[in-house]
Structure 1
Amino acid sequence: MPATALSPQDYLDALPQDRQAAIEALRQTLLQNLPAGFQEEISYGMIGYVVPHTLYPAGYHCDPKLPLPFLSIASQKNFIAVYHMGLYANPELLAWFTSEYPKHSKTKLDMGKSCIRFKKPDQIPLALLGELARKMTPQDWIALYKSAFNK
């Protein structure tokens, strides 16, 4: 995991060769499918997609200087991870994703609260992740975030 990357391209360039193609394909899928308004940057040492301060000036409640995080992708030691905060905060979206996953992958879903883990880089269901990315706009995420995390 390249923790010193300053840009998404730096992050990709620092990856082992066997991970670069998978992370780049995942990145391109997200860039093509995320609704307008999300911004790509390095966030918490990963490639992140955030709601910028121009759309949500309050920022992230843990550190208001940071933009509101939404989705990140990372090359971890034993897997590639997709962190989607909407899955953690929206039970209906989580139910949709878990029911759709078997239709797109032969592998068992390996998931934590917001973390989807892929141990085989060539078996990432890009079409499903693209569909997931389209399901929540920055405005949807802000509203859900405010109702769920800003109590």
Structure 2
Amino acid sequence: MQSTAKSIEAYLEEIPEERKIAFTKLRETILENIPNGFVEQMSYGMIGYVVPHSIYPNSYHCNSKLPLPFIALASQKNCIVLYHMGIYANDSLLNWFINEYPKHSTQKLDMGKSCIRFKKMNQIPFELIAELAQKISVQEWISCYESSLKK
């Protein structure tokens, strides 16, 4: 479910009341912990954290007009979703996250290839998300991305 909001502020206004506090805290957690160089902007109808063209002019292979995506945060029909492309591209990071998750939440991990779904707002592991956001620098993400293209 993609939003048509054109700005982050407009997107935040669309979030259901029962999710606003948790969503805002999750966004702040990412902003406080994501390495320098990533930029917050609307991306694919979500709040995205991307490598801007000023750092990586090669762009995203799926759409050269877009900067390289890394993390996205969305309020969907039944949950808040965090998309982390590093988890999708890096097996060791995925394994680390899966092993750490139970130490931070009693809620069962609900995860797809790059998405982590949070259905219970009081079970979001903010400290773990903070640590996850810190794990990959812009340069490491670019290298990982370029390596995956060569496969």
- How high is the TM-score relative to the length of structure 1? 0.96
Question: What's 1:16 paired with?
Answer: 16
Q: Summarize the alignment of residues 82-97 of structure 1 with structure 2, pairs less than 5 Å apart.
A: 82-97=82-97
Residue 126 (structure 2) pairs with residue 126 (structure 1): yes
Would you say how many aligned residue pairs link Structure 1 and Structure 2? Answer: 151
Q: Summarize the alignment of residues 40-119 of structure 1 with structure 2, pairs less than 5 Å apart.
A: 40-119=40-119
Deviations 1:54-90 (A, max 9, x none): 1100110011110000000101111110000000000
Please give the alpha-carbon distance, in whole angstroms, between the structure 1 residues aligned to 2:14 and 2:78: 16
**Equivalent pair of 2:47/2:73 in contact (CA under 8 Å):** yes
- How high is the TM-score relative to the length of structure 2? 0.96
Deviations 1:11-55 (A, max 9, x none): 111111111111110000000000000000000000000000011
Please give the alpha-carbon distance, in whole angstroms, between the structure 1 residues aligned to 2:36 and 2:150: 24
Instruction: Tell me the C-alpha RMSD between the 2 structures.
Output: 1.1
Structure 1's consecutive aligned runs of 4 or more residues displaced over 2 angstroms after TM superposition are none
Please give the alpha-carbon distance, in whole angstroms, between the structure 2 residues aligned to 1:100 and 1:86: 16
**Alpha-carbon distance, 1:6 to partner:** 1.5
Question: What's 2:27 paired with?
Answer: 27
**Equivalent pair of 2:2/2:44 in contact (CA under 8 Å):** no
**AA paired with 1:38?**
F
Please give the alpha-carbon distance, in whole angstroms, between the structure 2 residues aligned to 1:126 and 1:108: 15
Please give the alpha-carbon distance, in whole angstroms, between the structure 2 residues aligned to 1:10 and 1:117: 22
Please give the alpha-carbon distance, in whole angstroms, between the structure 2 residues aligned to 1:51 and 1:3: 21
**Alpha-carbon distance, 1:4 to partner:** 1.7
